[in-house]
């Protein structure tokens, strides 16, 4: 990408800044006046025409003001805007709302805070089970032939399912079995246990084959749930944005946000990078989100990427602020989870 020269650069910034605030096409005179440019409107017009030529701006119709293109926003985000550091008082206020004592609840609170502050929709995944380290697998006897299998991970997430025995089993045997299996799989992240390996590890525990099969399946099922559950908050905020006043525009966006798989994909590609990712308009794979920008970040627990949190709003978004907030909330959420 060609670097933009000083004044042209500044004008692009001014136009986008103005449009983000007003949601109205920006004219040459308006841009000049409202941002104290020391050049004539004619010059501004010339530069704007050039910026349009370059694909950064466009006109909704002839003889209207200019509006940024996705391309323009991209340049803006990459090199024109500076991330706003969240001010201390706001930090404090946000941190105060993160009071949860449970994983899922903490994620919910962080997502909600993000939605409220940005006035956009927010999305987040709960920590991914497969990345968590197994601490223990316990069989709680229910009757002579049934037990509940409980997995305890380092994140203390507990998942349980019934297993059925081929033949009656005593509580003591049940206990021994628990310990044997635990010993074999404890201390490793679930994700490291491949299907084949799992079969071997479990298979060696010999008798009570049926139970072991079931536990194997149970573990494998958890794999499939890889990205954790997904939460969406503040969907209704989309309707506050002027560009989504028409329900027919808003409807596809909200529909997309309701589909867990779609949202997962948004947050997905879970690269462990600590950078904030910004996907603008058509950069999103989802066609329904072609008028939206998605800003996401990964949160980390114990040094490992645990999940992601982000914001979905109109492409006309206060990027500096939102990026700062997403980064801060990802960090805060990580910290909060760390302490649990």
Interface contacts to a second copy, rule CB under 8 A: 102, 135-136, 138, 140, 142, 148, 150, 152, 156-162, 175, 233-236, 239-240, 244-248, 250-251, 254-255, 257-258
Give whichever of 16 and 256 is closer to a second copy, judged by the CB atom.
Answer: 256
Supply the minimum distance, in Å, between the C-beta of residue 85 and a second copy: 29
3-class DSSP state for residue 136? strand
Q: Which does 296 bind (CB under 5 to 8 A by kind): a second copy, DNA, none?
A: none
Which pair of tokens denotes residue 30?
């308006």
* Min separation Cβ 19 and DNA, Å: 11
Q: Is 23 helix (H, G, I), strand (E, B) or coil?
A: coil
- The tokens for 23 are 């949601």
Of the residues 39, 186, 254, 265, which one makes contact with DNA according to CB under 7 A: 39
| 100, 101, 123, 157 from 126: Cα distances, Å | 13, 14, 10, 11
Binding flags for DNA, 17-36, as an x/- string (CB under 7 A): -------xxxxxxx------
CB of 329 to a second copy, least distance (A): 18
- The distance of closest approach from Cβ of residue 163 to a second copy in the complex, given in angstroms and rounded to an integer, is 11
Rounded distance between C-alpha atoms, residue 185 and residue 130, angstroms: 13
Nearer of residues 195 and 221 to a second copy, judged by Cβ: 221
Among a second copy, DNA, none, what does residue 142 contact (CB within 5–8 Å per kind)? a second copy
CA dist., res. 266 & res. 308, Å (int): 10
The verdict on 45 binding DNA (CB under 7 A) reads yes
Non-local CB neighbours of 74 within 8 Å, separated by 6+ positions: 280, 283
| Residues 56-95 close enough to bind DNA by CB under 7 A | 59, 61-66
Instruction: Please tell me what DSSP assigns to residue 78.
Output: I
54, interface contact from DNA, a second copy, none, CB < 5-8 Å by kind: none
Q: Which residue has the tokens 């005593």?
A: 170
For residue 210 the two structure tokens come to 């049926």
* Residue 59, both tokens: 């006109």
φ, ψ for residue 257 (rounded to 5)?
Answer: -65, -20
Q: Which of 9, 13, 41, 290 is in the footprint of DNA by CB under 7 A?
A: 41
What is the three-class DSSP state of 165? coil
Please tell me whether residue 248 binds DNA under the rule CB under 7 A: no
Q: Which residues bind DNA (CB under 7 A)?
A: 7, 24-30, 39-43, 45-46, 48-49, 52, 59, 61-66
């Amino acid at each position: 990408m060609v670097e933009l020269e000083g004044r042209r650069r500044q004008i692009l910034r001014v136009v986008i800044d103005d449009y983000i605030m007003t949601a109205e096409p920006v004219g040459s005179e308006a841009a000049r006046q409202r941002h104290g440019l020391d050049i004539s409107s004619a010059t501004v017009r010339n530069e704007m025409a050039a910026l349009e030529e370059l694909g950064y701006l466009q006109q909704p119709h002839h003889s209207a003001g200019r509006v940024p293109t996705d391309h323009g926003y991209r340049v803006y985000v990459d090199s024109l805007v500076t991330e706003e550091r969240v001010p201390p008082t706001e930090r404090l206020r946000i941190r105060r709302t993160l009071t949860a004592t449970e994983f899922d609840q903490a994620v919910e609170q962080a997502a909600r805070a993000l939605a409220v502050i940005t006035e956009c929709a927010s999305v987040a995944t709960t920590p991914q089970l497969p990345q968590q380290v197994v601490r223990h697998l316990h069989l709680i006897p229910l009757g002579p032939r049934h037990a509940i299998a409980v997995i305890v991970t380092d994140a203390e997430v507990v998942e349980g399912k019934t297993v059925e025995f081929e033949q009656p089993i005593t509580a003591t045997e049940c206990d021994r079995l628990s310990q044997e299996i635990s010993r074999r799989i404890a201390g490793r992240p679930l994700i490291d246990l491949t299907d084949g390996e799992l079969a071997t590890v479990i298979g060696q525990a010999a008798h009570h084959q049926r139970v072991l099969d079931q536990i194997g399946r149970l573990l494998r099922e958890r794999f499939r749930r890889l990205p954790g559950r997904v939460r969406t908050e503040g969907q209704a905020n989309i309707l506050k944005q002027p560009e989504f006043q028409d329900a027919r525009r808003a409807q596809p966006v909200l529909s997309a946000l309701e589909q867990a798989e779609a949202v997962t994909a948004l947050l997905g590609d879970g690269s462990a990078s600590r950078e904030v990712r910004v996907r603008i308009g058509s950069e999103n794979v989802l066609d329904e989100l072609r008028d939206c920008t998605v800003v996401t970040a990964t949160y980390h627990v114990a040094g490992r990427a645990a999940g992601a949190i982000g914001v979905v709003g109109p492409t006309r978004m206060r990027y500096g602020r939102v990026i700062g907030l997403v980064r801060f909330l990802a960090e805060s959420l990580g910290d909060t989870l760390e302490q649990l």
